[in-house]
């Protein structure tokens, strides 16, 4: 037996609206039917008197049947009309929504530019610091800026297996490298993720170690090979970028190779950008070794180019000299590194090249760091319910870490590598004053033994008030950002800093020293105008850090409304890569109009 095929349901308005519309139209149809009835009555008066009664009875029966039938038919007709009207309205609404989406999708900026990112690490494949975050987030942010982006990385053995399995073999070749004519295998493995193409340089001789960085004896040959192999791979794939954007000392020889051994090749026409994420690490080794592993001509090791001191070569120095543009990760840091204190012995070299030095502050991936969608925290929140939900996250954090569960306590967080650069010596000096009976301190990180031991001591002697989690735990980091009231970032120097940006993204008030990117991203609170989004101090002194913390405590305990307003300002602050990506695009266009 074959059943009837049901017609698909059409979009309808709420049942009450349809019913009212049907009733109204049924009433109108009934009134018309009654009018017809009266007309028929007048006609029947002309019929002979003898048959009048019988005719009237038959007419009534006939009329009633007709009216009933007409009403039923009219109801069905009206239903169909209403459905068609609803369908048309739904269609119109859909068209209008599509038009609105088209209007919202702004056209991509012209002209289109192709960019090859070359660096030693990239989240989620391998990450040891902020460089990995930048290599992941910035290429994604450049796609809406009409940039065609590839990221070139070493294929380390430590890359998780699930990503290894996603890679596709694209080819291989042998590459001359050393001054004695020795050549090495270069394999290319490729995968696409989030609209970005990732090419991995494959060579077990260099990249089979467990960690990306070991020691200079091993790392210098490794990154000499990688810098040349990345450019050779672009030629091999016949993908010639407008811009080659390399990062830190591990890729600093790329501009040198570009303007020496790759001149005259297709990729030799590309312009180069070198980004310095941390000037302290430069890739310094003796000239003889670096010349062997690069086969650079003697003039490259001139003092104005790679030479450092009497017999060393500095890979980062060479990259600065040969690149078309040099950037740092904040505007303030770009100025600081031209001074003797911050310049790491390259201040004079950087002042000489200051005409091509720019500072562009980093952003963060607001998809990963989002208080409203974070799966790791106890309660999601936004600016409308931050006070209540942050209190829930604080209570969950206190419970998990064994702290006294008291909503009236102020929780100070510290998420950092435990080194002098991060200002941990200042924190160590004022730690007893931080614990005043109204404050709890949560520390997350690893680093120098003296700080690990010191913070463990404070935890053991202040149970319920201090927690020192000497490790790194991504989940706990999210929970501290959400549950803490303020975050300490008292760095000696900070090229950009990501922790203060993430803290603000979670409505946690940063307490920072005015240096590098910390100064560029945190506006000090002004008690007279009620403006600003954090508390700052300038000179690197423990007393000034303590003063900044006490100013934060004073506002928190004495004027909670103003504190909460600052929390909302931080939640509203744009810390995404959008603005930075636009600045990088402008930089690329300056080099390649």
Give the pLDDT confidence score for residue 70 in this predicted structure: 60
Pick the closest to residue 256 from 314, 337, 180, 173 (CA basis): 314
123-143: per-residue pLDDT in tens? 999 988 889 989 999 999 999
- Place domain 386-574 in its CATH homologous superfamily: Glycogen Phosphorylase B; (3.40.50.2000)
What residue has token string 């009206």? 78
Q: What is the spatial distance between Cα 27 and Cα 132, in angstroms, rounded to a whole number?
A: 72
194-251: per-residue pLDDT in tens? 889 999 999 999 998 878 998 999 999 999 999 999 999 999 999 999 999 999 999 9
Mean pLDDT by 10 residues, the chain (593 residues): 40 50 54 54 50 50 55 60 51 44 63 96 90 93 96 96 96 96 97 95 91 91 98 97 97 98 96 96 97 97 95 97 97 96 96 97 92 96 94 97 95 94 95 94 95 96 95 93 97 94 97 97 96 97 97 96 96 95 96 93
Token pair in block for residue 53: 């009664």
Give the pLDDT confidence score for residue 100 in this predicted structure: 44
Give the pLDDT confidence score for residue 107 in this predicted structure: 81
Give the pLDDT confidence score for residue 97 in this predicted structure: 45
Give the pLDDT confidence score for residue 349 in this predicted structure: 98
Greatest alpha-carbon pair distance for the chain in Å reads: 138
Cα distances from 437 to residues 88, 398, 457, in angstroms, run 67, 15, 18
Distance of CA 301 to the CA centre of its chain: 39
Distance of CA 275 to the CA centre of its chain: 18
527-553: per-residue pLDDT in tens? 999 999 999 999 999 999 999 999 999
- DSSP for 463-482, written as a single string: TTTEEEE-S--HHHHHHHHH
Q: Does 386-574 match 113-363+585-591 at the fold level?
A: yes
CATH class of 113-363+585-591: alpha beta
Pick the closest to residue 286 from 306, 304, 265, 256 (CA basis): 306
179-205: per-residue pLDDT in tens? 999 999 999 999 999 889 999 999 999
Pick the closest to residue 581 from 245, 349, 319 (CA basis): 245
Ordered by start, the domain boundaries in the chain are 113-363+585-591, 386-574
């Amino acid at each position: 037996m074959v059943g009837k095929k049901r017609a698909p349901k059409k979009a309808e308005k709420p049942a009450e609206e349809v019913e009212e519309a049907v009733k109204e139209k049924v009433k109108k149809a009934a009134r018309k039917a009654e009018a017809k009835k009266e007309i028929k009555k007048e006609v029947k008066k002309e019929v002979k008197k003898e048959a009048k009664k019988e005719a009237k009875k038959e007419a009534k029966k006939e009329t009633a049947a007709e009216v009933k039938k007409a009403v039923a038919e009219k109801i069905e007709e009206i239903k169909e009309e209403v459905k068609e009207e609803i369908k048309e309205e739904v269609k119109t609404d859909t068209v209008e929504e599509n038009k609105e989406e088209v209007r919202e999708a702004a056209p991509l900026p012209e002209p289109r530019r192709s960019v090859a990112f070359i660096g030693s690490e990239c989240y989620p494949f391998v990450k040891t610091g902020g460089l990995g975050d930048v290599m992941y987030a910035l290429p994604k942010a450049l796609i809406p800026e009409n940039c065609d982006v590839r990221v070139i990385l070493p294929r380390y053995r430590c890359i998780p297996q699930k990503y290894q399995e996603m890679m596709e073999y694209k080819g291989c070749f042998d590459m001359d490298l050393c001054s004695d004519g020795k050549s090495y295998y270069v394999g290319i493995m490729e995968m696409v993720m989030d609209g970005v193409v990732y090419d991995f340089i494959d060579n077990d001789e260099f990249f089979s170690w467990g960690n990306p960085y070991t020691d200079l004896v091993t790392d210098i040959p490794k990154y000499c090979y990688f810098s040349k192999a990345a450019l050779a791979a672009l030629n091999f794939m016949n993908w010639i970028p407008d811009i080659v954007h390399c990062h830190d000392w591990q890729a600093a020889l790329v501009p040198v190779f570009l303007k020496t051994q790759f001149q005259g090749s297709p990729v030799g026409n590309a312009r180069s950008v070198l980004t310095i994420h941390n000037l302290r690490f430069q890739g310094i080794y003796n000239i003889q070794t670096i010349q062997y592993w690069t086969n650079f001509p003697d003039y490259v090791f001139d003092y104005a180019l790679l030479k450092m001191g009497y017999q060393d070569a500095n890979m980062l120095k060479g990259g600065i000299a040969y690149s078309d543009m040099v950037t740092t990760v904040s505007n303030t840091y770009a100025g600081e590194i031209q001074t003797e204190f911050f310049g790491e012995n390259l201040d004079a070299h950087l002042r000489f090249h200051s005409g091509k030095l720019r500072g562009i502050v980093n952003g963060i991936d607001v998809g990963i760091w989002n208080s409203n969608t974070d799966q790791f925290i106890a309660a999601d929140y936004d600016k409308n319910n931050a006070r209540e939900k942050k209190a829930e996250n604080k209570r969950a954090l206190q419970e998990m870490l064994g702290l006294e569960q008291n909503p009236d306590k102020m929780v100070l967080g510290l998420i950092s590598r435990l080194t002098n650069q991060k200002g941990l010596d200042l924190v160590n000096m004022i730690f007893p004053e931080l614990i005043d009976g109204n404050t709890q301190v949560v520390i997350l990180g690893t680093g120098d033994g003296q700080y690990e031991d010191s913070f463990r001591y404070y935890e053991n002697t202040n149970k319920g008030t201090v927690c020192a989690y000497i490790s790194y735990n991504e989940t706990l980091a999210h929970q501290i950002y959400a549950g803490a009231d303020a975050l300490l970032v008292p760095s000696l120097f900070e090229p950009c800093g990501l922790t203060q940006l993430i803290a603000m993204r979670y409505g946690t008030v940063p307490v920072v020293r005015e240096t590098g990117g910390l100064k560029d991203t945190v506006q000090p609170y002004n008690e007279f105008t009620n403006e600003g989004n954090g508390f700052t101090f300038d000179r690197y002194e423990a007393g000034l850090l303590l003063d900044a913390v006490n100013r934060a405590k004073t506002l928190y305990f004495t004027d909670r409304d103003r504190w909460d307003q600052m929390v909302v300002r931080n939640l509203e602050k744009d810390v995404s890569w959008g603005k930075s990506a636009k600045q990088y695009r402008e930089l690329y266009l300056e080099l390649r109009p």
